[in-house]
A and B are shown apart, each in its own frame.
Chain A
Amino acid sequence: MASTTLTPPGAAPAPRATRAITAARLLPWLLLAPSAAVLLVVTGYPLVRMLWLSVHEYERAQLLGVPAPFVGLDNYTATLTDPRFWTVTARSFAFMVVCVVLTIVVGTLVALLLMKLGRGMRLVLSVGLLLAWAMPPLAAMLVWGWIFDTQYGVVNHLLTSLTSTDWMGHSWLVSPLSFFAVATLVVVWGAIPFVAFTLYAGFTQVPGEVLEAAHLDGANARQRFVDVQVPYVRTIYVVLIVLSMIWDLKVFTQIFVLQGIGGVKSQTSTLGVYIYEMGMAQGHYGAASAIAVVFTLVMLTISAYYVRVTIREETP
Chain B
Amino acid sequence: MSLAPAGAVPVTAATTAGTTAGRGAPPARRRPARRTVASVGWGVLALLVSAAFAFPVYWMVSTSFLPTDLISGPELHLWPDEPTLRNYDTAIFRQERSPFLPALGNSLQVTFLVLVASMVLAFLGSLALTRFRFRGRRAFVLSILVVQMIPGEAMMITVFQLVDTWQLLNTVVALGVVYLAGVLPFTIWTLRGFVNGVPVELEEAAMIDGCSRPRAFWKVTFPLLAPGLVATGVFAFLQAWNEFMMALIIMTRPESMTLPVWLRTFQQATKATDWGALMAGSVLVAIPVVVFFLLVQGRMTGGLVSGAVKG
Contact = CB atoms under 8 A, between A and B. Distances in A.
Please say whether the chains A and B touch (CB closer than 8 A). Answer: yes
Interface of A: 1-3, 24-25, 27-29, 31-32, 34-36, 38-39, 41-43, 45-47, 49-50, 53, 63, 110, 113, 115-119, 121-140, 142-144, 146-147, 151-152, 154, 157-158, 161, 189, 192-194, 197-198, 200-202, 204-205, 207-208, 211-212, 231-236, 238-240, 243, 246, 250, 252-253, 271-272, 275-276, 279-280, 285, 288-289, 291-292, 295-296, 299-300, 303, 307, 309-311, 313-316
Contacts of B73: 152
B225 interface: no
6 contacts: A31-B132, A49-B155, A63-B157, A139-B263, A146-B59, A193-B53
Interface in B273-289: 275, 278-279, 281-283, 285-286, 289
A197 B182 CA distance: 24
A293 B277 CA distance: 41
B56 interface: yes
B275 A146 contact: yes
Contacts of B127: 31
Interchain residue pairs A-B with the least CB separation, the first 9: A201-B302, A128-B50, A292-B154, A42-B181, A139-B282, A28-B132, A31-B128, A299-B149, A28-B128
Band of interface residues on B: 35 or more
A295 B297 CA distance: 36
Nearest to A234: B4
A35 B121 contact: yes
A125 B242 CA distance: 24
B290 A117 contact: no
Contact of A272 (B18, B42, B78, B153): B153
Given A38-B181, A252-B153, A192 B142 contact: no
B113 interface: no
Contacts of A115: 26, 29
B272 interface: no
Given A45-B158, A136-B289, A201-B302, A130 B297 contact: yes
Interface string B41-60: 01101110111111011011
A12 to B, nearest CB: 23
A279 B156 contact: yes
Contact of A38 (B132, B159, B177): B177
Contacts of B151: 250, 271-272, 275, 292, 295-296
Interface centre among B122, B156, B185, B278 (most CB of A within 10 A): B156
B158 A49 contact: yes
Contacts of A139: 60, 263, 281-283, 285-286
A264 B18 CA distance: 44
